[in-house]
């Protein structure tokens, strides 16, 4: 819980984790629902804590947000995944990459930094998608909208992550500058009829806006068939593959050539 002494202590340790080389990225493949090819990877942050072992983002992203460290996390993930991706592209492995970005990071400088870094790394802008996470909620400030528009104009994809968690999700799909919507896993795991209706409505608005739709949390054959029924473009989940450490994702990529 941010604000407690334990959280303050973890935040203090996180401050040092960047330079100590304790942060790392895992990569989860995204599959084309038609061809079942791996088309992109989602970079997910991990913290190899010296005493507590491998920490998942749920343990430290809210803390990073609260103690003003989220921009540094974002910067680390852009560098880490960008450099890996550039090395793969040089070897002829043309794979897309999605990175998670908190609305807090959406200031105009962010778009400039991302676009400039991609140019320096000689990466095609269209290969990168920025997933805007649900928390804290986006508030449609001028900065946020300008940043998203600048990214899209520069060729970078913009995805609404966690569609369906909040009750303003449809509004986000309707109003934000986007190229992709990601249906949250909680919807995949909820078999109520109302969920199908909500997803169909989302699909129809997204299609109208030329955005692609990704289903996450596909764990079983049944989930896979549900994503097919929804007519999602891409799928992601344990049914295909969990998030993988660098060595394992490289092995996977090599099987694709």
What is the C-alpha separation between 145 and 175, in angstroms, rounded? 10
- Of 129, 227, 237, 253, the residue at the interface with ligand C2E (CB under 6 A) is 237
Stretch that binds ligand C2E, among 10-18, 83-91, 98-106, 121-129 (CB under 6 A): 98-106
With CB under 6 A, what is the number of residues at the site for ligand C2E? 26
180 binds Ca ion (CB under 5 A): no
CB of 236 to Ca ion, least distance (A): 9
Task: Supply 190's token pair.
Answer: 């909820």
3-state DSSP: the chain helix, strand, coil percent, rounded to 5?
Answer: 50, 20, 30
Buried/exposed 179-217: b ≥16 CB within 10 Å, e otherwise: bbbbbbbebbeeeeeebeebbeebbebbeeeebbbbbbb
Bridge partners (DSSP) listed for residue 71: none
Q: Which residues contact residue 195 at a Cβ distance below 8 angstroms, ignoring those fewer than 6 apart?
A: 164, 187
Question: Between residues 160 and 208, which has the closer beta carbon with respect to ligand C2E?
Answer: 160
| 8 A C-beta contact, residue 73 and residue 23 | yes
- Side-chain-side CA neighbours of 181 within 13 Å: the count stands at 30
28 binds Ca ion (CB under 5 A): no
131 binds Ca ion (CB under 5 A): yes
What is the C-alpha separation between 202 and 181, in angstroms, rounded? 8
- Of 30, 96, 151, 185, the residue at the interface with ligand C2E (CB under 6 A) is 185
Task: Write the interaction track for ligand C2E spanning residues 57-96; mark x where CB under 6 A is met and - where it is not.
Answer: xx--x--------x--xx--x-------------------
147 binds ligand C2E (CB under 6 A): no
CB of 42 to Ca ion, least distance (A): 6
- Of 13, 14, 28, 97, the residue at the interface with ligand C2E (CB under 6 A) is 28
243 binds ligand C2E (CB under 6 A): yes
Q: What is the DSSP string of 61-120?
A: HHHHHHTT-HHHHHHHHHHHHHHHHHHHHHTT---EEEEEE-GGG-SHHHHHHHHHHHHH
What is the C-alpha separation between 206 and 201, in angstroms, rounded? 9
| 8 A C-beta contact, residue 130 and residue 99 | yes
Question: Between residues 30 and 100, which has the closer beta carbon with respect to Ca ion?
Answer: 100
CB of 80 to ligand C2E, least distance (A): 9
Three-class secondary structure of residue 224 per DSSP: helix
249 binds ligand C2E (CB under 6 A): no
29 binds ligand C2E (CB under 6 A): no
CB of 92 to ligand C2E, least distance (A): 27
Contact footprint for Ca ion (CB under 5 A): 100, 131, 161-162, 184
Contact footprint for ligand C2E (CB under 6 A): 28, 44-45, 56-58, 61, 70, 73-74, 77, 100-102, 131, 133, 161-162, 185, 216-219, 237-238, 243
């Amino acid at each position: 819980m941010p604000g407690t002494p334990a959280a303050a202590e973890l935040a203090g340790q996180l401050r040092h984790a960047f330079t100590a080389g304790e942060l790392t990225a895992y990569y989860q493949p995204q599959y084309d629902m038609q061809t079942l090819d791996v088309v992109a990877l989602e970079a997910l942050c991990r913290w190899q804590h010296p005493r507590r072992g491998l920490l998942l983002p749920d343990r430290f992203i809210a803390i990073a947000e609260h103690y003003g460290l989220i921009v540094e996390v974002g910067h680390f993930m852009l560098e880490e995944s960008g450099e890996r991706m550039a090395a793969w592209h040089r070897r002829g492995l043309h794979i897309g990459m999605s990175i998670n970005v908190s609305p807090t990071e959406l200031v105009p400088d962010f778009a400039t930094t991302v676009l400039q870094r991609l140019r320096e790394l000689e990466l095609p802008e269209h290969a990168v998608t920025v997933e805007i996470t649900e928390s804290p909620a986006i508030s449609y400030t001028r900065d946020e909208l300008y940043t998203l528009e600048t990214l899209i104009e520069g060729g970078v994809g913009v995805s609404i992550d966690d569609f369906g968690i909040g009750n303003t999700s449809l509004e986000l799909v309707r109003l934000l500058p986007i190229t992709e919507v990601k249906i949250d896993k909680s919807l995949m795991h909820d078999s109520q009829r109302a969920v199908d209706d909500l997803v169909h409505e989302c699909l129809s608005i997204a299609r109208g806006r030329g955005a692609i739709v990704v289903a996450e949390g596909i764990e079983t054959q049944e989930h896979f068939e549900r994503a097919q029924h929804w007519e999602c473009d891409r799928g992601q989940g344990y049914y295909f593959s969990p998030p993988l450490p660098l060595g394992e994702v490289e092995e996977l990529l090599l099987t694709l050539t």
